[in-house]
Amino acid sequence: MSSDGADARLRLERPVEIAVTPARLERGLWVLVALSLVGDIATTFVGLHLGLTESNPVANSAIDGYGLGGMLALKAAAVGVGLACRPLLPRPYRSIVPAGLALPWTVATMLNLALIATVV
């Protein structure tokens, strides 16, 4: 392949800077927590309705025993533990709490969607 003298590199006239303060990052991650929480709960119950099973034994017990209320209680407990532990961290590291909640719930939502797609 010949470039004929063309330079394929992107040249920026000035550096692009995005100011992300720890507070702004944490706020964005809490939004992601809320979205991923709703996504996980919604896709879990859609999957259950379609005949799939919950693979998490704790969540499975909560859902079997208490339905949606059990699932909401589990999620509320997880958020509560995160909020209780948050003040124990130095300010710059507090965003680890919502990140630790959002990451597994986002992954669970994506896995649930993939499983639902195989059934539908």
| Per-residue model confidence (pLDDT) at position 15 | 76
How far is 72 from 103, CA to CA, in rounded Å? Answer: 18
Per-residue pLDDT of the chain in tens (120 residues, 90 and over written 9): 555 555 567 676 777 777 888 889 999 999 999 999 999 999 999 999 999 999 999 999 999 999 999 999 999 999 999 999 999 999 989 999 999 999 999 999 999 999 999 998
Residue in the structure block whose two tokens are 């969607």? 113
CA-nearest of 86, 82, 91 to 23 is 91
The span from the first CA to the last CA of the chain, in angstroms, equals 45
How far is 84 from 87, CA to CA, in rounded Å? Answer: 7
Burial of residue 12 (CB within 10 Å: 0-12, 13-18, 19+) is: exposed
pTM: 0.81
